[in-house]
Amino acid sequence: MTLRFKPYDLKLKHTFTIAEYSRITNSVMLTEIEYAGIIGYGEASMPPYLGENHKTAIKFLSSVNVNQFNNPFQLEDIMEYIDALAPGNCAAKASVDIALHDLLGKIMGQP
């Protein structure tokens, strides 16, 4: 299995405003996990008020080594490993989880 990721600034159609500020973009991390030529996709949304950003997600995802697992159906083991790497990083961890679930669905021919 191979993990790839790419930071992206999502342009919002409408200005998003909360009590303290407004913004027109949202930082996201696009992730891919490839296995046997099939690619599962995930995304981490990182609004500034949750404390994650491109820099923290890149640092975390760079430490992830999914090729130590030879089967994406080891989902619980993979996610246990991911969660144990570092505290926090919830959005980055979720993007890996989403990519794994997308990959498994594609392998099984299920949505």
37-70 pLDDT per residue, tens:
999 999 999 988 888 999 999 999 999 999 999 9
Range of the domain at 70: 2-108
Q: How many CB atoms lie within 10 A of CB 33?
A: 27
Two tokens, residue 77: 């083991």
Q: What's residue 49's pLDDT?
A: 81
> In the chain, how many domains are there?
1
Would the pTM of this model clear 0.85, i.e. be above it? yes
CA 29, CA 57: separation in Å to the nearest integer? 7
pLDDT in tens, 78-96: 999 999 999 999 999 999 9
CB 44 within 8 A of CB 64: no
User: Could you tell me the CATH number of the domain that includes residue 69?
Assistant: 3.30.390.10
